[in-house]
Amino acid sequence: MQISIELDSDSQQSLQNQVFESIREQILTGNLKSGMMMPSTRLLNEQLGVSRNTIIHAYDRLIAEGYLFSKKTVGTFVNPNLPDVSLRLMREVSSNTIQQTKYSEEQIYKRQPVAFQGRVQALFNPHRDQLDVDFWVGRPDPKSFPINIWRQLTIKNLAHSGSSMTEYHDPAGIYDLRNAIAEHLRPARGINCNPEQIIIVSGIQEALNVVSRVLIKQDTSAVMECPCYQGAAYVLESYGAKLHPVPVDNEGLDVSQLPDKETALAYVTPSHQYPLGATLSLERRLRLLDWARDTGAYILEDDYDSDFRHQGSPLTAVAGQDKYGYVIYMGTFSKSIGAALRMGYMVMPEELVEPARTAKALMDNGHAWLDQAVMMEFITSGAYLKHLRCIRRTYLSRRDCLIEELQNNFGDVQLSGLEGGMHLVWHLPESLPEAKEVQQIAQDAGVGIYSLPAAAAHDFGKKGYRERALLFGYSSTTEEKIRYGIARIAAALK
């Protein structure tokens, strides 16, 4: 370990005193922490380029005055029990340091303004540990994570990594993983793409940033579903886009209200509209593609939880119906495996591949190789499809349990988003308080349910969804807890 010491050969102070004072001050200011092991005298003399005796004498003084202590054959450490005089000096040093860091108004005004402007979406739930039951949205069941096979594949790839762990790789992602994703998308989502069109990203959020860097500049017009996913709206907004809200209903985006002016892109969640849960009808999908051709806009398709379809066969992705290259498709493993993996992918129209690849390279030079190698084998071995089949059955059973408990406790409830996904929406009757108040009542009873703003949804329209809609995620909650949680809410509301 090295510590920061600067010596001045022109100083009237001896080198020994300079070393002593520098270490002493760093101990008093807390830069060298209590109990911390100091570098050996040999290492420090090599670092500073002075005689070893100079360091030895400085250490001896520090030990004598109680700043350091030595353990024979082990090393020298910062004394955790500094004498009273040292503690007093520490307070004085800290006080002086605070005074020196106070800037005058004139100095503050000379600073450059922060260029970035943005808002953070509500994906993290700070109250989760305080709840008995949590219906948080978009979170896979922690017990479903394929830990055994993931461990095996990780060990296997580490053992055969060769130079892969020490080299830079294609910023678009390793080819074998992109090929595996292309092979998966053909039957699963009806998308016929080649691996060169796929870019591996750290989930949907990075995909949105890549697209924004490629297509958005100040005052660019972008269509958003209303209500929509906060994270998408806030990213586009942070790059200077002007958001154009288009309402949704029980068939998804109301395409009849799309603008006819020049627009860069339209962000949509057609498989399971976030947050209200509608599936965009086939007729509207085709009209959306016609609109893109007429206006030249790109369609940004966020297919975040399309792996879970509970009623009927899933519709082909909009990207699978696109014959002219107007759709940018975004997929993620956050919902099917786990958000902490931070892995997703984009399928780009051919003319956008190179700009998007460059934007990705400028952001982080590509995703971690080991994670990609493990994911590739997880898909190609057939383990991914087996994993999906298993959790689909589990999530369907939990969805049915939640519907039954809401009906048993609240009667004829108005629900949406039942066809697929990992959450449903309860549209509150007028007999109950507004969503924010019901959310608080439930939280006080130890149950987490979520209004639109609390569930990372952005409602900038006038339909009243913010006031009357509550989201219930069911994927990470057992049926026993679902029954218990709904009963607690019913009792609290009574």
Query: Mean pLDDT, to the nearest integer, of 384-394?
Result: 95
* Cβ 458 vs Cβ 230: under 8 Å: yes
Q: Which residues make beta-bridge pairs with 425?
A: 416, 471
* Cβ 433 vs Cβ 492: under 8 Å: no
Class of domain 128-142+388-493: alpha beta
Planar angle of CA 478, 484, 485, nearest 5 degrees: 85
Highest mean pLDDT pick, 48-52, 92-96, 488-492: 488-492
The rounded mean pLDDT for the chain is 91
The region of weakest confidence among 3-12, 223-232, 356-365, 392-401 is 3-12
pTM of the complete model beyond 0.75: yes
* Cβ 333 vs Cβ 305: under 8 Å: no
Q: What's the CA dihedral at 99, 103, 104, 107 to 10 degrees?
A: 150
pLDDT digits (tens, 9 = 90+) for 265-303: 999 999 999 999 999 999 999 999 999 999 999 999 999
CA distances 275 to 237, 282, 472, Å, are: 19, 20, 10
Could you give the residue range(s) of every CATH 1.10.10.10 domain in the chain? 15-100
Could you give the residue range(s) of every CATH 3.40.640.10 domain in the chain? 145-385
The region of weakest confidence among 112-121, 236-245, 403-412, 440-449 is 112-121
Pairing of strands 68-71, 450-451: unpaired
Q: What's the CA dihedral at 306, 309, 314, 315 to 10 degrees?
A: -60
* Cβ 223 vs Cβ 263: under 8 Å: yes
pLDDT band at 98 (very low <50, low <70, confident <90, very high): very low
Could you give the residue range(s) of every CATH 3.90.1150.10 domain in the chain? 128-142+388-493
Say what the pLDDT of residue 316 is: 92
pLDDT digits (tens, 9 = 90+) for 464-482: 677 899 999 999 999 999 9
* Cβ 200 vs Cβ 172: under 8 Å: yes
Q: What's the CA dihedral at 293, 296, 297, 300 to 10 degrees?
A: 60
| CATH 3.40.50.300 for domain 145-385 | no
Backbone angles phi, psi at 279, to 5 degrees: -100, 125
Say what the pLDDT of residue 255 is: 97
- Fold for 15-100, please state it: Arc Repressor Mutant, subunit A (1.10.10)
The H or E element spanning position 103 is none
Angle, in degrees to the nearest 10, between helices 230-238 and 203-215: 30
Evaluate if residue 84 carries a pLDDT over 60. Answer: no
